[in-house]
A and B are shown apart, each in its own frame.
Chain A
Amino acid sequence: MHNLLSRQAEAVFWMARQIERANNLARVLNVTASFGRDGDDLKPWDAVLALYSEEGEYAQRYDEKHVGDIVYFYTLDQENPNSIISNIGFARENARALRPLMSTEMWTHINKFHSELQGLRRSQLRDEKIADFCEMIKRNCQTHAGLVSETLFRDEEWYFYGTGLNLERADQTTRLVDVKYHLLLPKKAEIGSQVDVSQWNAVLRSAAGFQAYRRIYHRGLTGTKVAGFLLLDERLARSVRFCTNRAANMLEELIVRYALEGGQLALEEAKALARQTAEAKIEVVIADGMHEWIDDVQGDVVTITNAIADAFFLRD
């Protein structure tokens, strides 16, 4: 029995992240579509561009900001490397490199998912169809997750997959909160207004956290509570706290179980991030600046990723 090839470790780590990115992008687009449902409101869509810091890339390709163009840019635009279709395309290329390691079912699904996307046209993304599209993406990403859970061999690739997945999910959840908290920040008077509450409601639902939230808070829905729940809850599978903790555990188990010689630095960084999210209090985070806290988490994810790459991936 040999260890995983460095190239394959890299491919499986990124495949997990690319699928998760597509999944989250679908969630963000879906919630944004619900914000803008009252008329053709550009503001929330503008926020999505800001969320991924892609105003520049967008402006290079399109003259003006139109809802339809922004939707296309993030869904079927093959020239945008961060679109859903590009992410699934990259994931499929990685899956091809991993084919000897994955079940036929898992490969066949990702291959079909990819060709289904290739067959879609821009006209199939108009208005009310955005929700259907996002549902289709989510469903496929969840099918993928199910196939991973059921069929991926619990060997090194499993731990690289899990580490990549959880780092990406932590990053994406910060973005989901940021889009509402920072970019759509209401004026003082509007806090607690019907629009404000319904937007937080949508964010919560897009992270599939509404039911869980209601089990903790029987009544009331405020920005502070929702943000605290999505970022710091211990049991919510998409929360930053949950995911950073999971990533650190997966990485530790990988290194110990397979007696890997590198990766100590990555593990220390991952544990530090997990500890920090476990100790954080939402009131303090808000008082010190939510946006800065989120920036720090995103920066830590990049640092951990680089440390993992240095330790395990193919380097010349």
Chain B
Amino acid sequence: MAIPTGGLLSDYDSGIYFDEMFGHGGDRADICRAVVRELNRQDLKVFKRRSKDVDQELRNLGITFTVYKNAKQIDRVLPFDAIPRIITANEWDVIERGVVQRVAALNAFLSDIYNEQHILNDGTVPRDLVVKNKGYQALMEGVRQPHGTWVNICGTDLVRGGDGEFYVLEDNARTPSGVSYVVENRHLTQRTFPDLMKGIKVRPVSDYGQRLVEGLSQMWPGGADHAAVALLSPGVFNSAYFEHVFLAREMGVPLVEGRDLIVENDKVYMRTTRGLQRLNVIYRRIDDDFLDPDVFRSDSLLGVPGIVKAMFKKNVVLANAIGTGVADDKAIYAYMPRIVKYYLDEEPIIKNVETHICREPDALAYTLENMHEMVVKPVGESGGYGVVIGPRATKKELADARKKLKADPANFISQPVLKLSTSPTLTRTGVEPRHVDLRPFAITGDSTWVLPGGLTRVALKKGSLVVNSSQGGGSKDTWVLA
């Protein structure tokens, strides 16, 4: 089917990458026909004006993240692109099953490495990679989690390649953020672009908070009727404070800060107008290092002295559990296909991006040979630090990287340069393809539920592959078709 003419998408050229609306050369337009038809009823000028109104509305609502520049506090809006990203029912079925499988493997892995360590003992995953990892918390050795659940909230970053298949780029098993945008983006669409959804069945995302509080309550004996749940935030100056407010409200639980809590007799209480009140399950949005000055960083003012001891005594459940950071490290990521197979005896439903573990001789040789067209990443680093992108590197940079790689191969993994899919996006001049990724969110208590949707981040700069909000990224409403 040819791309229809007249309207928002009439001049759209989806380019050389896989396009979320049109596939390759329009072959997906059939699947998204109803959406495309609605979009083509829109006039570009009017659409732009309505998009501008949305931006103002985000500011008024205070749906912002905070950045600090020259010691000044600035509230930024995550730009919202009103053209939705579409996921079909069949595609979602694969994603959902793939995420559930991935979370099961992560939890089995964490239970094992902090207890029997089978996977290390038989050498499937190198021991030093795990126990020397920054995210590994030796103090959790011997700890058993209710239902074997260490990762209650997981965000799995997916990308779609040139072949139209989804791949896992990264697991976020500590405190993944962004789910508030998934829900708020849907509200924005419903409020400001209700016409786009006319006659299209999209799966709802609004019950995330209720699912979350249910999942968290399952971590306490007796469940929902007995668990006093709270969300622990670093406070109003945290960049994700809006999300903390959002989640506490949606869950109907108190939003507490470290200074609101006190530990007495190894039990955790919050300070209220009527005195101390007990908490059982704490969804903490504070990193391990800042959680408890008695155990981790002693200079932390955000945490609660004694909370870790209370957790050991099983008087409180912390979600996610301490020590999950080891599982979402780049070094472990490379082993995830083997980890899935090891614990579940299944092939991964969603594959990893092709990854070469340079500590293995064949992979090292391959990487050295093809370095000019690969991405080489040091493990144990985050935020893109030390990453060399072959096609964009100078001869000298490549030579330097080769030297570093040979000196310490175990410190590197390599991947092919990704052909990230694109999605039609409103730009200054019209509608153009921009690269996107997808972060679905999974909640696990006694079982795993995946929110039908996810955060689609879009790189608003032409040609850019960087979707991070700090570097010119925006977001889209993500429609999972029923």
Considering only residues 302-316 of chain A, those with a C-beta below 8 Å from chain B are 312, 314
The answer to whether A3 and B257 have CB atoms under 8 Å apart is: no
B228 within 8 A of A: yes
Q: Which of A3, A112, A258, A259 has its CB near the most chain B CB atoms (within 10 A)?
A: A3
The answer to whether A260 and B60 have CB atoms under 8 Å apart is: no
Question: Which chain B residue lies CB-closest to A109?
Answer: B60
Considering only residues 36-68 of chain B, those with a C-beta below 8 Å from chain A are 59-62
The answer to whether A115 and B59 have CB atoms under 8 Å apart is: yes
B198 within 8 A of A: no
| Interface magnitude class on chain B | 20 to 34
Given A100-B248, A111-B62: A3 and B236 interface contact (C-beta under 8 Å): no
* Binding stretch for chain B, among A91-99, A207-215, A222-230: A91-99
A69 within 8 A of B: no
The answer to whether A260 and B273 have CB atoms under 8 Å apart is: yes
The answer to whether A112 and B60 have CB atoms under 8 Å apart is: yes
B interface secondary structure, majority: mixed
| Interface magnitude class on chain A | 20 to 34
* Binding stretch for chain B, among A4-12, A21-29, A180-188: A4-12
Say how far B257's CB is from chain A's closest CB, in angstroms: 7
Q: Which residues of B contact A77 (CB under 8 A)?
A: none
The answer to whether B236 and A96 have CB atoms under 8 Å apart is: yes
The answer to whether A7 and B257 have CB atoms under 8 Å apart is: yes
Considering only residues 73-105 of chain A, those with a C-beta below 8 Å from chain B are 93, 96-97, 99-100, 104
The answer to whether A3 and B259 have CB atoms under 8 Å apart is: no
Given A99-B245, A100-B249: A3 and B60 interface contact (C-beta under 8 Å): no
The answer to whether B260 and A2 have CB atoms under 8 Å apart is: no
A interface secondary structure, majority: helix
B208-236 vs A: 1/0 string, CB under 8 Å?
A: 00000000000000000000100000001
A234-263 vs B: 1/0 string, CB under 8 Å?
A: 000000000000000000000000111100
Partner pick for B260 among A6, A96, A259, CB 8 A cutoff = A6
Q: Which residues of B contact A260 (CB under 8 A)?
A: 273-274
Complex CA distance for A100 and B254, rounded to whole angstroms: 8
B106 within 8 A of A: no
A233 within 8 A of B: no
Partner pick for A5 among B241, B249, B256, CB 8 A cutoff = B256
Q: Which residues of A contact B249 (CB under 8 A)?
A: 99-100
Question: Which chain B residue lies CB-closest to A160?
Answer: B273
Q: Which residues of A contact B274 (CB under 8 A)?
A: 3, 258-261
Say how far B264's CB is from chain A's closest CB, in angstroms: 15
B277 within 8 A of A: yes
Complex CA distance for A258 and B273, rounded to whole angstroms: 9
Say how far A224's CB is from chain B's closest CB, in angstroms: 42
Q: Which residues of B contact A5 (CB under 8 A)?
A: 254, 256, 260, 270-273
The answer to whether A3 and B62 have CB atoms under 8 Å apart is: no
Complex CA distance for A99 and B259, rounded to whole angstroms: 18
Q: Which residues of A contact B59 (CB under 8 A)?
A: 111, 115
Q: Which residues of B contact A6 (CB under 8 A)?
A: 260, 271-273
Complex CA distance for A2 and B273, rounded to whole angstroms: 10
Say how far A42's CB is from chain B's closest CB, in angstroms: 35
Q: Which residues of B contact A9 (CB under 8 A)?
A: 273
B199 within 8 A of A: no
Q: Which of A6, A260, A312 has its CB near the most chain B CB atoms (within 10 A)?
A: A6
Given A100-B255, A111-B62, A115-B59: A2 and B277 interface contact (C-beta under 8 Å): yes
B123 within 8 A of A: no
Say how far B61's CB is from chain A's closest CB, in angstroms: 6
Q: Which residues of B contact A100 (CB under 8 A)?
A: 245, 248-249, 254-255
Q: Which residues of A contact B62 (CB under 8 A)?
A: 96, 99, 107-108, 111
The answer to whether B254 and A314 have CB atoms under 8 Å apart is: no
A46 within 8 A of B: no
The answer to whether A314 and B259 have CB atoms under 8 Å apart is: yes
B463 within 8 A of A: no
Q: Which residues of B contact A112 (CB under 8 A)?
A: 60
A300 within 8 A of B: no
Complex CA distance for A97 and B249, rounded to whole angstroms: 12
| A interface, CB within 8 angstroms of B | 2-7, 9, 93, 96-97, 99-100, 104, 107-108, 111-112, 115, 156, 258-261, 312, 314
12 contacts between A and B (CB under 8 A): A2-B228, A2-B270, A3-B272, A3-B277, A5-B271, A6-B273, A7-B260, A96-B236, A100-B254, A107-B61, A107-B62, A111-B62
| B interface, CB within 8 angstroms of A | 59-62, 228, 236, 241, 245, 248-249, 254-257, 259-260, 270-275, 277
9 tightest A-B contacts by CB? A3-B272, A3-B274, A99-B245, A6-B271, A312-B273, A96-B236, A100-B248, A111-B62, A100-B255
